[in-house]
Structure formats: structure tokens, C-alpha cells
Amino acid sequence: MSAPTPLTQLSEEELLLQSTVRRFAAETIAPHVRQMDQDQHFFPGLIPALASLGLLGIEIPEEFSGAGGTFFDAILAVEALAAVDPSVALIVDIQNTLSVNAILRWGTPAQRQLWLPQLASGMLCSYALSEANSGSDAFALETRATPTPSGYRLSGRKLWISNAREAGLFLVFANLNPQAGYRGITAFLVPAATPGLTIGRKEDKLGIRASSTCEVLFDDCEIPATALLGLEGQGYKIAIEVLNEGRIGIGAQLIGLAQGAWNHAARYAQQRRQFGKAIIDFQAVQFTLAELATEIEAARLMVYNAARRKDAGLPFVTEAAMTKYFTSQVAERVASQCVEIFGGNGFVRDYPAEKFFRDAKIGKIYEGTSNMQLATIARQLLTHPILP
């Protein structure tokens, strides 16, 4: 097995992807960011644009109309998008690191042939795991799957499901055998048009408001046996493994967010004048920006390291948890400090600083809270200690 590429070294293909996505974000996404946040609605024209650039199927093989890229490619794309709008980055992240990954790894040939071309060309897949009584305890699921002569019947209610309003497909986790506890959890691919599946109330969120977060209701949804993803009772394994990868994606979103906030603050500091000179000329502002840039770079290296390890087939669970934990801290701190650099203008919506600040908070909560990441890190270190 070859050694991973050095963290700071990007190949020509990776550099081209990064620059292409940055340009796309600046030209195509940036004009809609403020309105999408205000309306709490994703601009529909962006989904076909993301698909045409290959960003909805980065790891999907070319034979299924995908880009045929790597996990690290997906991380670079999420980071670049988040510097402009973390909401758009979240859509691309969930599509690639959670949904597509699950179908690639556990889907049957027929499922891959059916769904992957559609996902690559513009259909969104939403990851439906969380419930009212199943947050950090993600496997205390109450949604039930009941066997039928032709397949299964789903009944229950999911909460906090990202991209639910835009999704054409749902990756749903339900318990097929409650007596077996988490060993009864099973995964299903459920089209949004399935009778009995309805999208409920959309949450009125603090941040990442353009990305829809809704309840999803299953009222005796009849699905065929071919909707089963993996094996019966394998849902726990599927959910855990893709979430480990997804946490690296959230790390990429958070370092992109932090970089975007820092970029705006640095530009503002060069323009804003006080006491006869730009505030960037004051040592206090210089030191703040220098310290924040150092933290962003440290967080970026953690994200890249975890992603490189994943692509190289090396263990990465500890690194993914550390990445999620640390990047959420850095993003929140950077966004907060950038509001202060903007001063009073940072507290109003005419400027971008307050949006980055609002968007950053979710980083410590979704796809595993900070406390859950610490628990994972501690558990991993007890069984697989890092040796000098």
C-alpha cells in the first residue's frame, strides 16, 4: 500500500477541482446567499448547476454518470463551497459522504444502476436517521419496519432531516426487530414519491437556513423487498461507518466556513478606517487575524489527514472524531472573532460576519455532538492508543 500524499500537497487534478469550485461558488452561489438565508429556501437553479459541475456525484464511477473522483475530492469541494455558503456545502456533503457512499458500499448492482445515475444528475438523497427520542443515542429508533409478503411496511416519524424538502430519495433507518435492539436496525432506500411518505414541518433554524431541515413521516409506507440496503439488521453498521466518514465532511464544511469568515474580516480590516488609518494597521487586529489563520490551518491539516487516511485504506475513526471536535471549536471561535473585527457592522445583516457566526454553531451539534466525539476519541485511545 502506497503512503498517503503529503497533507499540504495537492495534485494538479485536485488543484483544478479546488479552483473550479471556488470560482463556481463566487460566481454562481454568492449572488443568492443572502436571499436564501432570508427566505430559508434553497435557490432551485443551484441544484442543476451543482450536478452539471459533477458535485452531486463526486465519487460515483463514470459508468454511472458520476465524476469518478475520490473522497478527498469531495472534501475539497465541500470546503470550497462552505467558504461562500455553508448551506450549499452541506447539501453536497450529505449527498457524497453519507448517501452516495452508502449506496456504493452496500447497494446491490441493481440499486447502483437505478439510483447512482439519478443522484449524479441532480436528484438529492436525504439521510433519515434522527428521531425525537433518538439524537445522540442515535439507535433508540422508534420507526418500525414490518415484513410484508412483497417487502416491508414503514411506520414512524423522523426529525431534523437535512435536505428533506429537496430530496427525491431517502436513506431510512428503521428497526425491523425491536427485541434485538440496535441489531434490528435496517436500512432502506425509499423514493420521496412513495405513498404514505410526507414531509412535515420545516424547522426555523438559527443558521444554515437555506438547507431545509424537516420532519419526515411514514404512515404505513409499503416498499418492495428491493428497497432493502445491505442485509436485514445491518443498518447499525451502515449508519456508523458512513457517519464516521461524514464527520470528515462536516470538518471540511467548518474549515471552509472559518476561512470564508476570515477572508471577509481581513478585507474589511483593510477598508475600515479609525484614528486616521485602516484597522489592519493596529497590532491587535493583526495578531487576531494571525492567530485565527493559524487555527484554521491546523484544523485544515486535521481534515486533510483524516480524508487522506480514508482514501488510503488506513484506520481513521479516531482522526475523524478529533477532526469533527476540533474544527467545530475553530469555526465557532473564528466566526465570533470576525464579528468583533467588523464591530457594530458585524452585528447586522448588511454584512456577512453574523451569518457565518450563526452558521458555525451547528458544527458542535449535528453528525455527533462534541461530547459524543470526545467519548469516541477516549474509547478509541483506550483500545488503540497512539504511540510516540
As annotated, the active-site residues are 367
Instruction: Let me know: does 243 contact 368? Beta carbons within 8 Å.
Output: yes
- φ/ψ region of 40 (left if φ > 0, alpha if ψ in -120 to 50, else beta) reads left
Residue written as grid cell 451547528 = 362
Strand ranges inside 115-242, DSSP E:
124-128, 144-148, 151-162, 167-175, 185-191, 197-202, 213-224, 228-229
- φ/ψ region of 148 (left if φ > 0, alpha if ψ in -120 to 50, else beta) reads beta
Q: Is 238 helix (H, G, I), strand (E, B) or coil?
A: helix
48 C-beta neighbours (distance < 10 Å), count: 12
Measured between alpha carbons, how far is 33 from 346 in angstroms, rounded to an integer? 17
Q: What is the CA radius of gyration of the chain?
A: 21
Nearest Cα neighbor of 154 from 203, 210, 198 is: 198
Nearest Cα neighbor of 90 from 366, 377, 385 is: 366
Q: Is 220 helix (H, G, I), strand (E, B) or coil?
A: strand
**Which H/E stretch holds residue 277?**
strand 277-278
